[in-house]
Structure 1
Amino acid sequence: MTDQVSMAPERIIPPAPGSPVAAEPRKQRTLTADVWRQFRQHKGGVIGAIVFLTIVFLVVFGPYIHGVDPSALNVRERNAGISLSHPMGTDNLGRDTFAQILAGGRTSLSVGVTAMMLSLLLGTTIGVLAGYFKKLEGPLMRLTDLFLALPLLPLLLVIIMLFRDTLRRSFGPETGIFMLIVFVIGITSWMQTARIVRGAVLSVKEQEFVLAAKSIGTRERRIITRHILPNVLSPIMVSATLGIATAIITESALSFLGLGFPSDYPTWGRLLFDGVNFMQINPSRVIWPGLAISLTVLSVNYIGDGIRDALDPRIRGR
């Protein structure tokens, strides 16, 4: 007969108070916290965010603080220098340059953000469809190549010349030109986003979690919205930041060529265009709007670099 061993349950002794074992468990790290932590380590991205938010704050709340009408004429103070009443001087008609910069910034930033959203919507949709559905990849990518092969600046000029007067009569001079410029910039700047998103989707759709979702009969639409899009968010966010800079530069170029907003509706590009003839008399007419465009575009580019590094899984979490 074999000896029977008693298997009494072991007594669990709770850890003593104050011991390392009794310490509270560490909070679980989240993706948002990791991304924010990594972004804060990118000095260029942080400085760019501070500069961009400062510009947005001045553009939005500056007219209420400065309180000068950008279209008010004062011939007695024309071409005046920097002073307390006119922090950036005046133009040849006595209009306050700082008030015009603030008013022009509202239009330029509105065009940049709206055109970026349209471009991002088109590029993301075409990129996801081309990357996920094999039957659509060929036609959509050939369409993308076709738009990439088009000379964009002549195309922009032709479209604006053809539809500018019609939209002005239908929606007014400011609203019509705003809609036209946003539409033109949006439909001519989605191609890079589409190609980047397509490449990311081709990589993600072969992952195990996507194959598992397909094996249990998940609908294609739910797979795209639930599994594909969240995992290609990194290139989409980077394209969004760079798209704002591209749209601002394009709008400034069109306004500089005299094909943008009317002369009494200031934008940064329009202020450059109006100040070219007065460069020798009053150089600040082109310095201030050019500086506003440069700082905005440069800060947005640095923000894009910081977001790209923060969303990179090879860098995040080190």
Structure 2
Amino acid sequence: MTEAVHSSNMKADKPSSQWRDVWRQFRSHKGALLGLFIFAVILFGVLLGPYLWKFDPTYVDIRARNSGPSWSHPFGTDQLGRDLMARMMAGGQVSLAVGLTAMALSIVLGTVIGVLAGFFRRLDGVLMRLTDLFLALPLLPLLLVMVMLFREPLSRNFGPETGIFILMVTAIGATSWMQTARIVRGDVLALKEREFVLAARSIGTRPTKMIIRHILPNTLSPIMVSATLGIATAIITESSLSFLGLGFPPDFATWGRLLYDAVDQIQLYPLRVILPGAAISLTVLSVNYIGDGLRDALDPRIRGR
């Protein structure tokens, strides 16, 4: 009987896990919860919406062109009679796919460069000067040059849609890794002087194993925050390039391309500008709030309050 009571007291006193504490702190951030809900609704709409709304986003119906919102076309139609709701969902799939893939590329690049610069002293100077060089470059002109140089070769080799997708992801990911690299480097510089890393080094642990087992798991918090903010940056960059007419082909819908197509008729049909603009703004705002909530939840000084 005494042992049962003792074991029940131990279960009651058992500390909660780290991720449960993270979720509890994240839930206390009302803006992050609202951002997570909005982002989930947008994901649901663009991923599952086409299965419920079966209009072809490329179908041209000249007789229904420039129609206002109706039961058959809730968002109306464009100048070619294409259904705007279907094009919004198709455009969201492309914009979010570019944002997520470019974010993943930039996070991988930034993490690798940050870990190498922070852990290996002889590489620190070279890699940080490279990071400073990329930070000093005007990114939009650099992106425009990359698009102009590689657009045609990639389109010929992979097709218009796949080629431009590869170009967009590579261009955005290769020009947005610098902040992640600086953040990870700072964490690695602090971590490699900690007792557990010094103990692992004293027993002859190889640098590669030390990085994978001890360094990277302890840098996940800033990496996750950078990832959420990187999605927003990538979506805005893709929309900007598409708005300038340097993105996907005209018949391939993205939110930025919908803005580009509608800007000439903004006074006659303002809804065509409001819809993709609101989708971009809500997505970026919700992702930024999620990043703020993760930053607070993953900071042990705040989580312990």
TM-score, with structure 1 as normaliser: 0.93
Superposition deviation, residue 37 in structure 1: 1.1
Q: What SS does the aligned partner of 1:232 have?
A: helix
Within 2, Cα distance between the matches of 1:58 and 1:76? 27
Q: Which residue of 2 aligns with 1:7?
A: none
Q: Does 1:217 align with 2:195?
A: no
Within 2, Cα distance between the matches of 1:117 and 1:177? 18
Give 2:34's aligned amino acid. I
Q: Does 1:136 align with 2:116?
A: no
Within 1, Cα distance between the matches of 2:137 and 2:207? 33
Superposition deviation, residue 77 in structure 1: 2.0
Asked if the contact 1:15–1:22 (Cα under 8 Å) also holds between the matched residues in 2, the reply is no
**Count of aligned pairs:** 304
Q: What SS does the aligned partner of 2:303 have?
A: coil
Q: Tell me: CA distance 1:225–1:20, structure 2 relative to 1, closer, same or farther (3 Å).
A: closer
Q: What SS does the aligned partner of 1:175 have?
A: helix
Within 2, Cα distance between the matches of 1:168 and 1:16? 72
Q: Tell me: CA distance 1:224–1:85, structure 2 relative to 1, closer, same or farther (3 Å).
A: same
Which of 241, 244, 262 is matched with 1:254 structurally? 241
Q: Which residue of 1 aligns with 2:73?
A: 86
Give 2:11's aligned amino acid. P
The RMSD of aligned alpha carbons is: 1.5
Within 2, Cα distance between the matches of 1:16 and 1:117? 51
Give 1:78's aligned amino acid. R
Within 2, Cα distance between the matches of 1:186 and 1:58? 26
Within 2, Cα distance between the matches of 1:220 and 1:41? 39
Q: Which residue of 2 aligns with 1:42?
A: 29
Q: Which residue of 1 aligns with 2:109?
A: 122
Q: Which residue of 2 aligns with 1:228?
A: 215
Q: Tell me: CA distance 1:35–1:181, structure 2 relative to 1, closer, same or farther (3 Å).
A: same
Q: Which residue of 2 aligns with 1:113?
A: 100
Superposition deviation, residue 268 in structure 1: 0.3
Within 2, Cα distance between the matches of 1:246 and 1:61? 24
Q: Does 1:305 align with 2:296?
A: no
Within 2, Cα distance between the matches of 1:161 and 1:21? 69
Q: Which residue of 1 aligns with 2:90?
A: 103
Q: Which residue of 1 aligns with 2:11?
A: 25
Give 2:182's aligned amino acid. R
Provide, for residues 130-181 of structure 1, a one-character-per-residue CA deviation record: whole Å limited to 9, x for no partner.
0011000000000001111111111111111111111111110000000011
Within 2, Cα distance between the matches of 1:261 and 1:25? 57
Q: Which residue of 1 aligns with 2:38?
A: 51
Q: Which residue of 1 aligns with 2:52?
A: 65
Within 2, Cα distance between the matches of 1:53 and 1:148? 33
The higher radius of gyration belongs to: 1
Provide, for residues 90-146 of structure 1, a one-character-per-residue CA deviation record: whole Å limited to 9, x for no partner.
111111111100000000000000000000000000000000110000000000011
Q: What SS does the aligned partner of 1:83 have?
A: coil
Asked if the contact 1:68–1:99 (Cα under 8 Å) also holds between the matched residues in 2, the reply is yes
